[in-house]
Structure 1
C-alpha cells in the first residue's frame, strides 16, 4: 500500500511510546474529555514503539472510539505523499459506535502493502461527532490525495474542522518503520511541560488569562515565561509567573487558601435620653451611657435605659442591614423638685416723694422700698413693684424710666410724665 502517516496536533505531547516523532500537524486547543480515538497497526497493538515492516509486507490498521463518531484515516509518508485510507471505494461506512473496534482492510477486496522508500510513516485518525467533507483533500474512490506534504494537510484539515466546536472532534496517530530504515537522532525538544497541581482538585487553571483546564493538569508549551493563575470559588486565587524550558518539566503546586467568611451585616443604634448619663443595657448587658452610638449586627434587641431617681425606659426593636435606629428615652423624675424661690425684682433705686409734670397735670409719687403711692383720680393709689421699674396695683400701672414715668390704666396709656 501507500504508506500512511498520522495527523498530529501542532502543540500535542509526543507519545510516551514513540522513539522518534516528527512535528505534529494540527492541534485541537481544547480536546473533549468524553470523545477519544485510538489508532494502531497490527504489529504494535499496545503502541509501545515503532514496528518495522518490510517492503511488500501487508499491514493492518485498527481504530476505536469512546463515543459514536465518524472516523477518517489518512496516511502521510516520510516523502510527504498523502493517502486516503478511510473512507475508501471498498469501505464507505466510516461511522463507528462507542467502544467499537474496526480493522482495515475489512474485507478481501483490497490490501495495504508497504512499499519503498524506507522511512518513518504515520497513520492519522480524525474522529468527529458530525460528518466531515474531505473531498478537497482526498478522492475517496481512488484514495489519491489532492495535496502533498504534512503542512498542506494541516492547513486543509484546519479548514474542514473550523466550523465544528472543539468539543466535537479529536485525533490520534500511529507510527511504523517502512523497510530497513534507521531513524535520525531526535532533534532537541522544541517544547516543555508545565505541570500544575493544587491542594484543591478541580481548580481552574488560567494561562495568560485563558482557561486551559482544571488541576491536576500537564500542559505542553513553547519555551517562555507565562502568567499562571489557579482559582476556585471560595478560595484566594494563586498567581505566579512560570518559565518553561525546552525538554524540561516545570512543576507548580498551588496552595489555595479559603476566603474568610464575609462579616455579618450591621446597622447603627443611636440612644439619647432627657437625662444625660443614663445607663444603657442591650439584651440585659450594659453597653454604655447616654448619649450613645453603637454599630451592631443585624437582629432583634431589647433596650433598657435607666438612672437612679428616674423611671426606667424599655423598648424592643429590629435593626435592619445598613439602617440607623434612633431611640430617645424619656425618664421621669421620681422625686418632685423643690418650689423655685420667689423672684427678686431689682428696685429702680428711687426713694422719697417726687412731683411729676404730666400732660394732664401734676402727679405726686412717693417711692418706698417695693411700693409706690400716687395721688390720682382724687385718691391715693398704692402700687407694688411687680417687675423692674414697674409698679402695679388694681387697674393702675406706673412704669419708671429715669426721670420719666408713664401711667397705664387697664393696660391703656393714661399719661406721660417727667420731673
Structure 2
C-alpha cells in the first residue's frame, strides 16, 4: 500500500510573535485590476483547526493564469505549497475552482502549537521569472522552505519581480483556539477609497471589519494615491483607522475659439485651454483675443473641486456696403441671399473674415467678388453686371421631339428646327419622344452667339440577357422565383427585362442555395457566376471522464473541462484528456452522426 505524504502546517511560536514583525512588509497587497484571484480553506476564514485535523486549500481566478501558493508562519518562515513535485501544473483555467491537494499522494495536517497562520496566493497572466523560479524549486524539492525571514524575502525576492498583469489574495486560520477580537472602523477623506486589511480586499470606505487582537495594517487606494496605515486591535474595542488623501483644487479654462489670453484675478496665467491649481474661494477669469470682444466670469470653487469654465468670445463686427450696376440686383454672401441692392446700396453687418459676394439680376451675367473684412472695418464695394442673351437652334432626329432647356419646356422640333433665346453660359438640353430614349446634351454659348444643336434620339430597347454559370454545374436556376432551367457546363442564357433588378437563385441537392441580385441594360448580356457551398453537417459530442474536471484538447486546442458538451463538424479528430496525477489519454474521435458520446477512464500515475 502506498502512503500519502503528510504536510504539517505548524505554527512554531504563539500568535503574538507577529508583533515582532511588520505585517505590511510580509503580506503582499495588490492594486485593484481586471485580474482577480481568490483563496480559501475548507472552513470559513478565521476558523479554528484542531491538531491533526485535515486542511484543504481552494482557489480560482477570473482569467487563465499561473499561480503560486505559500504559507507564512508566525515565526517569519515561508513554505512553498504549490506548485509541488506531486502537483506541478500551476496554469489554471478561468472561473474553475481548484482544490489542494489535487493528487492523493499527500495531505495537509494541522500541528501544534496554537496560533495564527496565513495562506497567500499570487496569480499572473504571464509566465514571469519569479513564477518560473518557484515552480522549478517546488517541483524539485518537497515543499521547500523559501526563507526564515519573511520580511526580507517578500520585499527583496518577490515584490520587485512582480510585473505585467498580476493579483494576489490571502486567508488565515487558527490552531487550537481563536483569539479575542475587536473591530476596525475604516475611513478615508474623501470617502469611497478601495481598502485592503492584511492583504484582504474589504471594499470601499467607510467599512467595518472584525479582527483578532494585535497588529494589522490597512492599504487604501484612491485615484492615483495609496496610503498604508498600521494599527492595533484591542479585544472588545473599536479602533478608528483613517487615510487622508491630498485633494487639489483645480480650474479648467476653455474658450471658443481657443488661443485666448487668460487672466485670473487680474494676473496673466497663459493661453486657453489651460488647467491651473487654485485656492478655494471666489475668483474672476477674463479672456481676451485680438478681433474679439473680451469675456469674463466670476465664480466660487470649493476645496478639492475641479471646476471647468467655458468662455465664448464674440468677434467684433464689420460693415459691408454693396452697390450693383445697374441697381436692383439680388445680393448673395457665401451663397446665402442677403437682400436687394437699391441705388443707395445694401448695408450688411458681418463678422470679420473673408466672404464671396455675388450679384444676380435677370438678363445679366452674375457678378462676384471676394472681400476680406477686418474687425470694426467699414467697406464699400460695387458689382457691375453685363447684359446676356444668346440663341440656340435645336434640331432632332427624328423630328417632333419635345425640348426642355435647363428643365423648362420650350416646344417641339420641326424640320426647320426650334430656336430659343438663352443667357450666355452653359445650358442643359433634354429631348424626349415616345418610343425613344431621352437624350441630354450640354452646350455652352457666349453672349450674343447663335449656335446649332443637333440631337439624335436612339430607339428604346427593353430587354437584355443573363448568361448564368454555376460551380458545381447543373444547378437549377430560378429568376425572380420562376424556374428557368439548368446551368450546364456552357451556362444558361435567359432573357430578362432591362433596367430592373432581378434576383437569381441557384439550387442543387446537398448544397446551400446561392443567390445574387443583378440588373442589365437594354440589349446587354451580363455574365453571372454563382458558387454553391456544400451543406456543413455538425454533430453534438459529449465527453465525460472518470474522474471528472479533466482538461479536454481537440486537435491540440483546449476546449474545456469534463464533463464537456460541444458541437463539431463531421470528421475525424484527435482527442486528448489530461488531469493532474493521471496519465493523459489520446483517442481518435469520429463525428459521423448528430450525437456522439465519449467516456474516458483516466489511469492514476503509480
TM-score by length of 2: 0.35
* Structure number with higher strand proportion: 2
Higher relative contact order (CA 8 A, sep 6+): 1
